[in-house]
Structure 1
Amino acid sequence: MKLTQKTVVVVGATGQQGRAVTRHLLRDGWQVRALTRDPHGARAAALAQAGAQVVRAQMEDVDSLTVAAEGAWGLFSVQPTVGSSGTAPDFTAEDEVRWGVNVAEAAHAAGIGHFVFTSVAAVDRHLEEKLPVNLVSKWHIEQRIAALGLPATILRPVSFMENFTGGYALRNGNLSTGLAPEVPQQIIAVDDVGAVAALAFSRPTEWIGRAVSLAGDELTPVQIAAAIGNALGIQLPYVQIPIDAIRALSEDFAYANEWLNTLGYRADIRATRNIHPAAMDFDTWLERTGASRIAAFLDSARTSGQDT
């Protein structure tokens, strides 16, 4: 039996990473079992229309995950982090770890042959330096995957280009984050993570046992704002949010920004392109999907009367 005649389970299939992985797997001919807590939602319906088998399962319910994984060969796992879109306001790093461990335990119980987990770049420096909470949580999940002896591939992407498409960074007519204006930041398109995940499933002998960092470009926030402005034909200044203002809301988020402004991911972009030569730089991503998404957000914000 060819590998692509086997089934790969995608956990969190309606999230942006899950959708990207599902899209690439289906394009490559895999059978995909897409897990979601809401199989009747619009995103789940789109996955079904594309050819995925949509199955209800919840990451807080390990039994539902185990049942959903039975009979599958591969499984892709990704969890939301604190502050991710769609998570409850009280969602914590401990919840993320528990969900990630649940998925790993279910994969182990179901006898999954290849487990691909999306972690985050720099997590392997956990014992060398103080990492932000959202990195440490993924390190804990990685440790459980290893302890279970799962035949696993760990993908460690840097920050996503998609972070610049909505209200997280676009407000008051500016691009605005806690990142220092002139400090280069590493970024990658979510679609490229999906492509590498599909590649890993297609070459298990080569990929099982590997942990790879992924980055597609490195730009300062000022350069990112300028690139968006050029793509949309608008003026988009960059304005840094003071770290003290962020700290007043969240000490963890303030530290994450300080870490990015000083130590950062330090992934090898050339190594990423050796693995995936089509990995997008920021201008390519803007041309393909980013600019239209940003324009749609800005138009929607204006129409609804929001102050952007």
Structure 2
Amino acid sequence: MKLTEKIVVVAGATGLQGRAVTHHLLRDGWQVRALTRDPNGAPAEALARAGAQVVRAQMEDADSLTAAAEGAWGLFSVQPTVGSPGTAPDFTAEDEVRWGVNVAEAARAAGIGHFVFTSVAEADRHLEEKVPVNLVSKWRIEQHIASLGLPVTILRPVSFMENFTGGYALRNGNLSTGLAPEVPQQIMAVDDVGAVAALAFSRPTEWIGRQVSLAGDELTPVQIAAAIGKSLGIPLPYVQIPIETIRALSEDFAYANEWLNTLGYRADIPATRRIHPAAMDFDTWLERTGASQIAAFLDSTRPAGT
């Protein structure tokens, strides 16, 4: 049986990464079992129309995951972090770790032949320095996966370009985050993570046992704002949110911004392009999908009649 005649399960299939992985796998001829808590929702129905088998399963329900993984060859796993779109207000780092552990345990119970987990760049620096809480939670999941002896590939992307498409960064006519204006930040298009995951599944003998950091570009927030403004034909100043303002809302989020402004990601961008030569830089991402996403968000927030 050819690899592409086997089934790959995608946990979190209706999220940004899950959708990207599902579409790349389907494009490459795989059978895809897309897991979601809401099979009747619009995102799940879109995956079904694209050719995926949509299955109800929840990452907090280990039994549902094990049942959904039975008979599959591969499994892709990604979990949201605290504050991710769509997570409950009381979602914690402990929930994230528990969900990641549940998916890994389901993979072992089902005898999965290739497990691909999306972590985050620099998660392995947890042992050397204080890092943001989301890196620690991903590292804890990685360590549990290792303890199970799964045939695994670990993908560690940096921050996503998609972070700049909505209310997280676009407000009051500005691009506005806690990032220092002139400090370069490494970024990656979510679609390219999907492409690398599909590549890993297609070459298991080459990819099982690897941990790979991924980054597609490196720009300062001022450069990011200028690129967005140029692509949309609008002025878009960059305004830094004071760290103390962020700290008043969340100590963890404040520290994450301080870490990005001082230590930050150190992924090897040329190495990413050797793996995936089509990896998008920021301008390419804007041209293909980013500018239209940002324009749609800005249109949706514009007062009626303006």
Length-normalised TM-score, structure 1: 0.98
Query: What is the one-letter code of the residue matched to 1:74?
Result: G
Shift of 1:224: 0.1
SS at match of 1:126: helix
Per the alignment, residue 23 of structure 1 pairs with 23
Corresponding residue for residue 105 of structure 2: 105
The AA in structure 1 aligned to 2:19 is: R
Q: Is structure 2 residue 66 aligned with structure 1 residue 75? A: no
Partner SS state of residue 85, structure 1:
coil
Match of 1:200 in 2: 200
Write the distance in 2 (CA, Å) between the matches of 1:118 and 1:303.
38
Tell me the SS of whatever aligns to 1:58: coil
> Is residue 182 of structure 2 the alignment partner of residue 190 of structure 1?
no
- Which amino acid in 2 is paired with 1:300? S
In structure 2, give the amino acid aligned to 1:210: R
Deviation at 1:304, TM superposition (A): 5.8
Distance 1:158 1:274 in 2: 17
Q: Taking every aligned residue pair, what percent have the same amino acid on both sides?
A: 89
Q: Which residue of 2 aligns with 1:138?
A: 138
Q: Distance in 1 between matches of 2:293 and 2:305?
A: 18
Distance (whole Å) between structure 2 residues aligned to residue 216 and residue 112 of structure 1? 30
- Mapping of residues 117-136 of structure 1, within 5 Å: 117-136=117-136
Equivalent residue, structure 1, for 2:9: 9
What's the CA shift for 1:305? 8.9
CA displacement at 1:295 relative to structure 2: 0.2
Q: CA deviation at 1:303?
A: 4.4
Matched, 1:154 2:147: no
CA distance in 2: counterparts of 1:304 and 1:60, whole angstroms: 41
Find the aligned partners of 2:304 and 2:91 in 1 and give their Cα distance: 28
User: In structure 1, the residue corresponding to 2:91 is in which secondary structure?
Assistant: coil
Q: Could you give the per-residue CA deviations for residues 178-214 of structure 1, whole angstroms, max 9, x where no partner exists? A: 0000000000000000000000000000000000000
Compute the RMSD of aligned alpha carbons. 1.0
Equivalences, count: 306
Aligned residue number for residue 225 of structure 1: 225
Kindly state the Cα deviation for residue 147 of structure 1 after the two structures are TM-superposed.
0.1
Indicate yes or no: 2:30 matched with 1:35. no
- Residue matched to 2:63: 63
Q: 2:168 is paired with a residue of what secondary structure? A: coil
SS at match of 2:155: strand
2:277 counterpart residue number? 277
**CA offsets per residue over residues 135-177 of structure 1, 9 Å max, x none?**
1000000000000000000000000000000000000000000
- What's the CA shift for 1:88? 0.3
After superposition, what is the alpha-carbon deviation per residue over 1:235-261, rounded to whole angstroms, capped at 9, x for unaligned?
000000000000000000000000000
How do 1:290-305 and structure 2 match up within 5 A? 290-303=290-303
- The letter of the residue matching 1:41 is G
1:241 is matched with: 241
| CA–CA distance in structure 2, aligned partners of residues 304 and 204 of structure 1 | 52
Residue of structure 2 equivalent to 1:86: 86
**What is the CA-CA distance between 1:35 and the residue it aligns to?**
0.1
Counterpart residue type for residue 9 of structure 1: V
> Which AA in structure 2 matches 1:261?
N
**Equivalent position of 1:250 in the other structure:** 250
One-letter identity of the residue aligned with 2:267: A
Paired amino acid for 1:150: L
Deviations 1:66-104 (A, max 9, x none): 000000000000000000000000000000000000000
**1:124 positional shift:** 1.1
Question: 2-side partners of 1:212 and 1:137: how far apart?
Answer: 18
Change (3 A) 1:7 1:248: same
Q: Which residue identity does 1:159 align to in structure 2? A: S
Structure 1 runs (4+) greater than 4 angstroms displaced: 303-306
Q: Which runs of 5 or more structure 2 residues have no equivalent in the other structure?
A: none
The residue that corresponds to 1:286 in the other structure is 286
Measured in 1, the distance between the counterparts of 2:180 and 2:76 equals 34
> What is the DSSP-based 3-state SS (H/G/I as helix, E as strand, rest coil) of the residue aligned with 1:218?
strand
Q: SS of the counterpart of 2:134?
A: helix
304 and 196 in structure 1: CA distance in 2 versus 1, 3 angstrom threshold: farther
